[in-house]
Amino acid sequence: MPSHPWTISAYLRWCERSLRSPDIDLSIKAIARAHLLNCLKSPDRHPMVARTLRMIEARLRSKASRSDLFRPEDFLMRNKVEDEAAPLKPLRPDRKVGAKRAVRILRSTPKLVSRRF
């Protein structure tokens, strides 16, 4: 405690993907309350945090007017064509059955070295 405004802004951007707008507001209020209870300056009034909150709100308002980059049908059709056209390859035909690999382990103690002075 106290949280740096850059850290609060980064946390809000991280929350943007998984939380709704009211939940983001609740989290920033909880952080501000913890600061005020400890007699510290509230980080939600910092210009960087306020700008981040405005950016998140603007992005949420414009979400309906933005188009998706890809249509889900494009990927579904492509996967169907690839599944039908691709023959199955055998798994590792070059490897001999029953061939053992050398076991490599790390030492638990350092290697003893004779020192000559």
The domain limits of the chain are 5-61
The verdict on pTM exceeding 0.75 is no
One-letter-per-residue 3-state SS of 7-59: HHHHHHHHHHHHCCHHHHHHHHHHHHHHHHHCCCCCHHHCHHHHHHHHHHHHH
> pLDDT, tens digit, for every residue of 66-102?
777 777 777 776 555 555 655 666 666 566 666 677 7
pLDDT tens for 43-55 read 888 999 999 999 9
